[in-house]
Structure 1
């Protein structure tokens, strides 16, 4: 998967003392769906987030991180793969997508 600015983002996750790189849909990266829903309600929106789209995990924390990491392993990418992908880009805006987001 190729990062697309503001859609699929590059994410670094520190796990077991190592940093692992992923290209994820940005919606996977909200760690606490209930808090996000509450923030939307405070702004006058009545949105809810379907936790099925994130493997049934409403909150990513110490208790659910192993399950979450297991589900996203197909999106894992090495730093070398990211570097090769970046080096192939010639357009400045396409290169921006390779800046780690979170």
Structure 2
């Protein structure tokens, strides 16, 4: 929970909202600390905290974590992608992304 608060607060600084983790914690826990001009920013950051702190771990339920339909699960897809990513580790991250995208 604490890590999720810190990450969401850091993200809010990056997006220009400038929310502290303490203020975000008050908002998530008690829905206090909001003013009219920060209501939307706190709602966005609160959503990020809930997404980061709740639910199953991605390896256990990747489709649910990403909110994607799990119609035809391929149990070997994640290990195959992990093996592929390990083999292209020396390459630039942009090249790695392009390989994984294709």
TM-score range (shorter-chain normalised) is: under 0.3
Q: By percentage of residues, which structure has more strand?
A: 1
Q: By percentage of residues, which structure has more helix?
A: 2
TM norm structure 2: 0.26
Kindly name which structure, 1 or 2, has the bigger radius of gyration based on alpha carbons. Answer: 2
